[in-house]
Structure 1
Amino acid sequence: MIEKTTLENGIRIVTENVPAVHSVTIGIWVESGSRHEHQAQGGISHFVEHLLFKGTSRRSALEIAREIDSVGGVLNAFTSREYCCFYAKVLARHLPLAIDLLADSLQSSIFDLDEIEKERRVILQEISMVEDTPDDLVHDLFSQTFWGNHPLGRPVLGSRESVKNMSRDDFLAHLEGFLVGGNILVCAAGDLNHDHVVDRIARVFGQMAAGARKQVHSHPDYRPSLSFTRRDLEQVHICLGTRALPQNHPNRFSAYILNTILGGSMSSRLFQTIREEQGLAYSIYSYLNSHSDAGALVLYTATSTENAPLVVRMMLKEMQRFKVEPVSRAELKAAKDQLKGHLLLSLESTDNRMTRLSKNEIYLGRQPSLKQVLGEFEKVTAESIQRLAHFLFQDDYLNLQLLGQIEEKQFPLLDLTLG
């Protein structure tokens, strides 16, 4: 059973009681991420996320870790382009402790100067780690190229320059605008009572200022590009992408199925053609990267320098195939069964149920039933996928990012086109 309550200060609380489980996962979702930051402070949401577990007026960082460890729980956080999430998973009887730890960390962190400097070094190492991992770096490079100067194109971690220049005052000012009731969503799933959760959240967050939700003020444009980044690597890492649908688009179920058939699994067209039939790559897949107002469909692989042009042509051919040839009945059924199976299996985890509650609230403003979602998958047809392919797969939106020992003059695929 899913229930929702909104406190007077605007904090929304959505819970789902899940029978026959022993755990509860609770998340404090703050609707502010890297796309809401000024360029000079790129990465500040992520930096603050790190600092909020580094000591409060009541607990040291070690005491926070010991308290959650002593009950066998998990306490963690992550930052994305549109939100930050601070969450805990515990046995149901320890939910009051989890709420207290989250509230204490979010509202009473002291931002000790020594801890700030330590975390600054940690984040700089995190940036270096990404730069040293080409199969991570190429996705950041693709985002920068695809979204251009729009905030969606900036790395969530920020840049070395922005991370080095942030001060304690910057963090406190960011937190003041970040932690307001209208910007906060609390979601919990598991062995819980909704009214008890609401009561505890009201006690620890009830005095928080109301404020307003962060608004998206600029929408990205899509334009074609071809980008080469030279690195001394054994392989060329490839990201090929085009526009996709935002999170709440009515045709999103067709997009999920199209992506599944294209590169969503080992039985997908990309995997079977490029890896299994031709042996040209080890890892190859596609994914949807959707936001509140825009999205990208991205294909990734890595291959030898000499085979890179051929592999890109094969990727383009598989995209074009959706436009000229309806998917078969067998492919469509298999993709639907795969997605429905993944969804049903995910519901066995209170973590996934909590995340599902939050994303539905953030992007849809409602909680579709499982029956409704499964019904939307069933409505997808070969014709609706083909119409979507014509909408998405256009030359005006194609972006190609290559990372490795390759230069534009060495790359014969100058006619980057879907026809």
Structure 2
Amino acid sequence: MVNKSILDNGIRVITERIPYASSVSIGIWVANGSRHEDRSVNGVAHFIEHLLFKGTERRSSLDIAREIDSVGGVLNAFTSREYVCYYAKILDKFLPRAVDLLTDIFLNSTFDAEEIEKERRVVLQEISMMEDTPDDLIHDLFHQQFWEGHPLGMSILGDVESVSGLSREAILEYKEKMYRGEDIIVCAAGNVEHEELVSMVAEQLLSVPGGHGRKPSALPVYERKVELVEKDLEQVHVCLGLKGVTQSEPGRFDAFIMNAILGGSMSSRLFQEVREKSGLAYSVYSYIASHADAGSLVVYAGLSPEKVDELMEITLRELRRFKNEPVSDSQLNAAREQLKGNLLLSLESSDNRMSRLAKNEIYFGAPQPLSQIMEGFDRVTAESILALSADIVDNSTLSLIMLGRVGSSTIQPEAVLI
């Protein structure tokens, strides 16, 4: 059962009680991410995520680590384009300690100047590590290109220039502005009593100012872009993407099933054609990246430079198929059951349930019953996938980026057509 309360300052507290569980996963979510930054401070949301673990007035960074380790728990955080989450997973009897620890780092981190400089070096190393990992870098480059000129295109990590320029004052100003009550959601799933958690959280978090921090951004524009980035690598890394779906639009179920058929599993068309039948690549897959007001459908592969032309031929052919022929009943049903099964299996984990609570609140403003989601998958037909494909499989929104020794490819950008 899901329960929701709203504190006087607008903070939402949402719980799902799982009485047979022995653990509780709890997260403090802030519905502001990298897309809500100014370009001059790009990376600040992610930087703050790091800094909150560096010490408070009551605890040093070592104290924080020792306290969660001493109860066998997990304490971590992550930043995305649209939210930041600080979370803990602990045995249910230690929930009060987890609440105290999470709220302490959330409210009372000191942002010590020396710690800021040490963590700045850590984040700069994280940026360098990504740039040295081409199968990670290509996705960042793709989204920068796909959302060029829009905040969605900014890197979650920031870049060397923006992170190097973040002053303590700019960091504190951003946190004060963006960590506001109506953008904060506390979610917990597991063996938790709702009213008890509300009482614990209210005692700690009512000092948070109310209101919203973020401002609406303009809708992104989808445009055709093709870019070949020369880099001395053994492989060429390819990302090809199209307009996708938003987090809440009804067609998302069609998109999920279309993606599962295209490249979302080992039985998918791309995996079978590119890896199993042709032996072109070890890694090939597709994925959906959905946001509040936009989305993309992306295909990735990493392979030898001389095989790129063959990969592109197969990928474009498989995308065209969605526009030109209905998917078979067997493929549709298999993809449907795959996604249903994945969802049901994920709900055996309290941390996945906690994340689901938060994301449903951010994008829908309410819980999404499991039965409603299953019905959404059941409504997908071969005809509805054809209709979606007619909208998104379009040359006007196609973006392609290739990273590696691309000079050996005979691909002509103007000839990359669906």
Instruction: Assess same fold via TM > 0.5.
Output: yes
Per the alignment, in what secondary structure is the counterpart of residue 189 of structure 1?
strand
Instruction: String of CA shifts for 1:297-318, please: whole Å, max 9, x gaps.
Output: 0000011111112201210110
The verdict on how the C-alpha distance between 1:38 and 1:213 changes in structure 2, with shifts beyond 3 A counting, is closer
- Aligned position for 1:328: 328
Q: Kindly report which structure 2 residues correspond to 1:69-148, keeping only aligned pairs within 5 A, or say none.
A: 69-148=69-148
Instruction: String of CA shifts for 1:259-318, please: whole Å, max 9, x gaps.
Output: 000000000000001110111010000000000000010000011111112201210110
Q: Kindly report which structure 2 residues correspond to 1:206-285, keeping only aligned pairs within 5 A, or say none.
A: 206-212=206-212, 214-285=214-285
Instruction: String of CA shifts for 1:318-343, please: whole Å, max 9, x gaps.
Output: 01001111000000110011000001
Kindly indicate whether the alpha-carbon contact (under 8 Å) linking 1:228 and 1:408 is maintained by their aligned counterparts in 2.
Answer: no
Instruction: String of CA shifts for 1:178-234, please: whole Å, max 9, x gaps.
Output: 221111011100000000011111000012211225232221100001101111011
Q: Kindly report which structure 2 residues correspond to 1:18-29, keeping only aligned pairs within 5 A, or say none.
A: 18-29=18-29
Q: Kindly report which structure 2 residues correspond to 1:15-414, keeping only aligned pairs within 5 A, or say none.
A: 15-212=15-212, 214-407=214-407, 410-412=410-412, 414=414
Kindly indicate whether the alpha-carbon contact (under 8 Å) linking 2:238 and 2:301 is maintained by their aligned counterparts in 1.
Answer: yes
2: CA distance between counterparts of 1:14 and 1:175? 23
Residue 408 of structure 1, CA deviation:
8.8
1:415 maps to a residue whose letter is A
1: CA distance between counterparts of 2:368 and 2:218? 28
Residue 102 of structure 1, CA deviation:
0.8
1:349 maps to a residue whose letter is S
Kindly indicate whether the alpha-carbon contact (under 8 Å) linking 2:29 and 2:184 is maintained by their aligned counterparts in 1.
Answer: yes
1: CA distance between counterparts of 2:82 and 2:413? 35
Kindly indicate whether the alpha-carbon contact (under 8 Å) linking 2:178 and 2:212 is maintained by their aligned counterparts in 1.
Answer: no
2: CA distance between counterparts of 1:401 and 1:88? 37
Kindly indicate whether the alpha-carbon contact (under 8 Å) linking 1:31 and 1:84 is maintained by their aligned counterparts in 2.
Answer: yes
RMSD of aligned alpha carbons: 1.1
Kindly indicate whether the alpha-carbon contact (under 8 Å) linking 2:231 and 2:404 is maintained by their aligned counterparts in 1.
Answer: yes
Per the alignment, in what secondary structure is the counterpart of residue 15 of structure 2?
strand
2: CA distance between counterparts of 1:145 and 1:133? 18
2: CA distance between counterparts of 1:241 and 1:258? 14
Per the alignment, in what secondary structure is the counterpart of residue 57 of structure 2?
coil
Kindly indicate whether the alpha-carbon contact (under 8 Å) linking 2:77 and 2:85 is maintained by their aligned counterparts in 1.
Answer: yes
Residue 411 of structure 1, CA deviation:
2.5
Instruction: String of CA shifts for 1:127-156, please: whole Å, max 9, x gaps.
Output: 000000000011011111111111111110
Per the alignment, in what secondary structure is the counterpart of residue 282 of structure 2?
coil
Percentage identity across paired residues of the two chains:
53
Per the alignment, in what secondary structure is the counterpart of residue 407 of structure 1?
helix
For normalisation by structure 1, the TM-score amounts to 0.98
Per the alignment, in what secondary structure is the counterpart of residue 414 of structure 2?
coil
2: CA distance between counterparts of 1:411 and 1:257? 30
Instruction: String of CA shifts for 1:22-77, please: whole Å, max 9, x gaps.
Output: 00000100011100101010000000100001000010000010000000000100
1:242 maps to a residue whose letter is L
The verdict on how the C-alpha distance between 1:409 and 1:93 changes in structure 2, with shifts beyond 3 A counting, is closer
1:379 maps to a residue whose letter is R
Kindly indicate whether the alpha-carbon contact (under 8 Å) linking 1:309 and 1:412 is maintained by their aligned counterparts in 2.
Answer: no
Per the alignment, in what secondary structure is the counterpart of residue 302 of structure 1?
strand
Kindly indicate whether the alpha-carbon contact (under 8 Å) linking 2:140 and 2:155 is maintained by their aligned counterparts in 1.
Answer: yes
Residue 410 of structure 1, CA deviation:
4.1
1:59 maps to a residue whose letter is R
2:267 maps to a residue whose letter is S
Kindly indicate whether the alpha-carbon contact (under 8 Å) linking 2:309 and 2:410 is maintained by their aligned counterparts in 1.
Answer: no
Residue 372 of structure 1, CA deviation:
1.3
Instruction: String of CA shifts for 1:151-180, please: whole Å, max 9, x gaps.
Output: 111110001001111111111111101221
1:416 maps to a residue whose letter is V
Kindly indicate whether the alpha-carbon contact (under 8 Å) linking 1:31 and 1:213 is maintained by their aligned counterparts in 2.
Answer: no
2:105 maps to a residue whose letter is S
1: CA distance between counterparts of 2:409 and 2:301? 21
In the alignment of these two chains, the number of paired residues is: 418
For normalisation by structure 2, the TM-score amounts to 0.98
Residue 413 of structure 1, CA deviation:
5.5
1: CA distance between counterparts of 2:94 and 2:144? 43
2: CA distance between counterparts of 1:309 and 1:66? 53
Per the alignment, in what secondary structure is the counterpart of residue 283 of structure 1?
strand
Kindly indicate whether the alpha-carbon contact (under 8 Å) linking 1:24 and 1:188 is maintained by their aligned counterparts in 2.
Answer: yes
1: CA distance between counterparts of 2:372 and 2:213? 28
Per the alignment, in what secondary structure is the counterpart of residue 306 of structure 1?
helix
2: CA distance between counterparts of 1:207 and 1:39? 30
